[in-house]
Amino acid sequence: MNFDLKKVLFILLVLIVLGLLISNYKIFLKVIYPLVYKDLIFREAANKGLDPYLVAAVIYAESKFDPHATSNTGAKGLMQIMPKTGKWIAKMKSDNDFSVSDLYTVKKNIEYGCWYLAWLYKRFDRKLAVTLAAYNGGLGNVDKWLENDRWDGKHKNADQIPFTQTKNYVNRVMKFYDRYKFIYKEEGEDSFF
């Protein structure tokens, strides 16, 4: 009889824990998909006309919110900006005080990353999948793929992207973007894309 009581109590405990997880699943999801530097992301995204949840998705895909991240190719910081790209952005923004080490600064990295995303988004006629492909695979490569009809620029046809890493990147960021909107977007909040 004592054994049956322990079994029933264990099952009851498991059901209570499952109930709490189900009723608070967004709290659980926020642990998996954090939104670190929220105020800065929202401010810079708004300044550049971007959806902050897209910016969060890019940061999550690029560095998992690690401001000291460095890729094998030398990309730096939260949004994994290449030094050459950082210098070009600084020139475009007339930021004469820029140093490559600034890419490890949270504020500068988000500012530059948002500027570059917005620039690409405008450059590619507000096509999000193409923007993400260029952010990862390079502007010149994406131009060639589109000009040579290797990819039509649509997310649903991302399997046409010649670089496996870029194809996977576009799909991952789009998935993360959907998740960030689902987890964090407030009811009644305007949609950007």
Q: What is the pLDDT of residues 9-55, one digit of tens each?
A: 788 788 777 766 666 788 889 999 999 999 999 999 999 999 999 99
Host domain of residue 10? 1-32
One domain for residues 101 and 67: yes
Active-site residue numbers? Answer: 62
Confidence tier at 168 by pLDDT (50, 70, 90)? very high
One domain for residues 3 and 96: no
**Is 190 a member of any domain?**
no
Residue 21, pLDDT score: 65
One domain for residues 155 and 139: yes
Please say if the pLDDT value at position 3 is more than 70. Answer: no
One domain for residues 178 and 86: yes
Q: What is the CATH number of the domain that holds 55?
A: 1.10.530.10
One domain for residues 54 and 148: yes
**Is 159 a member of any domain?**
yes
**Is 192 a member of any domain?**
no
Q: Which residues pair with 76 in a beta bridge?
A: 70, 81
Q: How many other β-carbons are positioned within 10 Å of the β-carbon of residue 50?
A: 23
Mean pLDDT throughout 56-69?
98
> How many structural domains does the chain have?
2
**Is 61 a member of any domain?**
yes
Residue 81, pLDDT score: 98
Q: What is the mean pLDDT of the chain?
A: 93
Please say if the pLDDT value at position 193 is more than 70. Answer: no
Mean pLDDT throughout 129-158?
96
Mean pLDDT throughout 131-139?
97
Confidence tier at 153 by pLDDT (50, 70, 90)? very high
Two structure tokens written together for 165: 């890493």
One domain for residues 49 and 5: no
Least confident range from 24-38, 54-68, 83-97: namely 24-38
One domain for residues 91 and 149: yes
Please say if the pLDDT value at position 5 is more than 80. Answer: no
One domain for residues 68 and 45: yes
Residue type, 191: S
> Mind giving me the DSSP string for 167-181?
HHHHHHHHHHHHHHH
Is 81 in a helix, a strand, or coil?
A: strand
Residue 7, pLDDT score: 84
One domain for residues 5 and 79: no
**Is 88 a member of any domain?**
yes
One domain for residues 89 and 107: yes
Which residues lie closer than 8 Å to 134 by C-beta, 6 or more apart?
120, 123, 124, 141, 142
Return the residue matching tokens 């950007």. 192
**Is 147 a member of any domain?**
yes
One domain for residues 69 and 84: yes
One domain for residues 28 and 41: no
